[in-house]
Amino acid sequence: MADEIIKESEEVSGSEEVKSKNFIEQIIDKDLEEGKYTKIVTRFPPEPNGYLHIGHAKSILLNYGLAVEYGGQFNLRFDDTNPTKEKEEFVDSIIEDVKWLGADFRGEVLFASNYFDQMYEAAVKLIKKGKAYVDELSAEEIREYRGTLTEPGKNSPYRDRTIEENLALFEAMKNGEFADGSKVLRAKIDMASPNINMRDPVIYRIARMTHHNTGDKWCIYPMYDFAHPIEDAIEGVTHSICTLEFEDHRPLYDWVVTELEYPHPPKQIEFSKLYLTNVVTGKRYIKKLVEDGIVDGWDDPRLVSLAALRRRGFTPSSLKTFMELAGVSKSQGSCDYAMLEYCIREDLKPVVPRLMGVLNPIKLVIDNYPEGQTEEFDIENNPDSEDAGTRKVTFSRELYVEADDFMEEPPKKYFRLFPGNEVRLKGAYFVKCTSCEKDADGNVTLIHATYDPETRSGSGFEGRKVKGTIHWVNAADCLTAEVRLYENIIDEEKGKLNEDGTLNLNPNSLVVLKDAKLEACLKDAKPGDSFQFIRNGYFCVDSKDSKDGEPVFNRIVGLKSSYKPA
């Protein structure tokens, strides 16, 4: 009997991978077991006041992933309750980012502003319950009355207005009878609460602003902490998943949905934010970089906005892998940028073509190769993929090679080109360096070599061996293109900020090479196409500055990794 049990256990463990669940999944499992919800609904609720960055990707993929895992629904809803900073430009960019990540919100985009009528009625309900009042204290006085972390607040002199007076004043606020900032509606909770967020928070303010969605219909707008739980409840959201800074706001979230008597109130759960080393995510800093012309917009490939990552050549699947490695927890920490680079390398390595690109070119002339002759070689597109096939690459007397593949007086263990040394040109012939030419300043301008026709690649040559193989392109038909090499825009090891509070920028964050020589087939490369340039890294055709027949290439990531997965 014991043997049978052991055998059955081995069969189960061998056929089913046991998946450990994060703390959010454990909460959802418990809620479903207890019958609190019949269908899981999650949401991503951005404010349309800027571009999304990599931290938002964690929230999007987490919320969408949970909806998929539990057969539920994922909503994209804009928390557009503050029209001073909101723009259609940001709405459009966020929709594009969410779609790019593959988070399916069923084609329907939701807006908090669509619920403004319901929010107004919710505020009226609180007034009628004696749970809200119109206050006339100034913003400075409200802060003064609120108290401190160690001292309780004190009641506003307007806190005990009658329900009838509060209803009339709130309606007058809605009708535009008072000046901006002259009155607010506050929740009546507890001015002595140890949680400052519960000390009669403002839930409506007067602000005459044109809203991107509702126009000039409203001159009063709800505050975020009041609006957000109502939006979740209206949409049937079951689990309102947010980052840790909202943990102290959860009592207010719960108070709102409880006092408004929603039958199936959503549950707020907090998780740790994604912090990434050596990047800039703060909107204030990015705006300054854009305005000062240090970067060429919110999609500059040195940034980690989703638009910038997409333009640089990162893929949705690489970001998903990165988020899985980062994990979901309540413990605050940071991830090394090298881990993100590891994920994109692993994503691209098996699928993108491996081509030859010479970034810092110097001409190589094969003196004994027949002038005017051209031949073709079949070179594999990707040795890691059996289905990738081969391509034709032309070869002639004059080629380009990397400048650092030649040294007139090399150190020991340098196996590339130097006078008297022989190397293999990848996929072609052995060539022996014979001499070089220099300009008046002593810079090498031309390398001379001879080739051995017996060493043609694929010919079965088994003679002498060479220790070095270098890449090359045919000078007669190669593409001359602009290539951009990127590094992190800041280096936190040297300090993220200068003494004056400005960013400590890396002066080498962008190097532009105007004269790179690339394989001829890249003339037809389209924006978004990705490749590996042998020995130089992974590159993507820039979607902003490329033109037909004139692609610009962004380096996504180099070939070497300092990150090792656990």
pLDDT beyond 50 at 5: no
| Beta carbons of 332 and 343 less than 8 angstroms apart | no
The pLDDT score that the predictor gives to residue 566 is: 65
Residue 430, SS3 per DSSP: strand
Q: What is the reported pLDDT for 85?
A: 86
pLDDT digits (tens, 9 = 90+) for 344-378: 999 999 999 999 999 999 999 999 999 999 999 99
Q: Is the pLDDT of residue 499 over 80?
A: no
User: Mean per-residue pLDDT for 502-520?
Assistant: 94
pLDDT of residue 492: 74
Q: What are 49-81's pLDDT values in tens digits? A: 989 999 999 999 999 999 999 999 999 999 999
Structural contact between residues 314 and 279, judged by C-beta atoms closer than 8 angstroms: no
The Cβ of residue 318 has, within 10 Å, a number of other Cβ atoms equal to 22
DSSP H helices, 46-161, are: 54-69, 88-101, 116-128, 139-146
The mean pLDDT of 140-161, rounded to a whole number, is 97
pTM to 2 decimal places: 0.90
pLDDT digits (tens, 9 = 90+) for 216-269: 999 999 999 999 999 999 999 999 999 999 999 999 999 999 999 999 999 999
pLDDT at 13 over 80: no
CA pair distance 384, 362, nearest whole angstrom: 30
pLDDT in tens, 196-211: 999 999 999 999 999 9
**Among 341, 343, 295, CA closest to 318:** 343
Distance CA 439, CA 446 (A): 9
Q: What pLDDT score was predicted for residue 540?
A: 98
Given this model, what pLDDT does residue 307 score? 96
In angstroms, the CA 551 to CA 207 distance is: 48
The residues, ordered by sequence, that sit 6+ positions from 123 with a Cβ below 8 Å of its Cβ are: 132, 170, 185, 203, 204, 222, 226
What are residue 427's phi and psi, to 5 degrees? 70, 5
Q: Is 512 exposed, middle or buried (0-12, 13-18, 19+ CB in 10 A)?
A: exposed
Contact predicate 132/183, CB 8 Å: no
Average pLDDT estimate for 128-135: 98
Predicted confidence band at 7 (pLDDT cuts at 50, 70, 90)?
very low
CA distance 362 to 497: 40
Phi (first) and psi of residue 318, to 5 degrees: -70, -35
pLDDT in tens, 98-118: 999 999 997 789 999 999 999
Q: What is the pLDDT of residue 333?
A: 83
Pairing of strands 510-518, 357-358: antiparallel
Strand pairing partners for 473?
Answer: 400
Residue 17: what pLDDT? 52
- The confidence band for 461, taking pLDDT boundaries of 50, 70 and 90, is confident
pLDDT band at 282 (very low <50, low <70, confident <90, very high): confident
**Mean pLDDT estimate for the chain:** 93
- From CA 266, how far away is CA 262, in angstroms rounded? 9
Say which DSSP state 303 is in. S
What's residue 11's pLDDT? 42
Least confident of 168-177, 395-404, 455-464: 455-464
**What is the CA angle 122-124-125, rounded to 5?**
65
pLDDT of 463: 84
C-alpha span between 12 and 201 (Å, rounded) = 54
Q: Please, which pLDDT band fits residue 504 given cuts at 50, 70 and 90?
A: confident
Q: Kind of pairing, strands 479-486 and 552-557?
A: parallel
**What is the Cα–Cα distance from 383 to 369, expressed in whole angstroms?**
29
pLDDT, residue 82, reads 93
pLDDT reported for residue 18: 56
State residue 490's pLDDT score.
87
* pLDDT-wise least confident of 19-23, 168-172, 398-402: 19-23
Judged by DSSP in three states, 357 sits in: strand
How would residue 500 be classed by pLDDT, with cut points 50, 70 and 90? confident
- Closest to 95 in 3D by CA, of 81, 76, 111: 76
Provide mean pLDDT across the span 482-509.
86
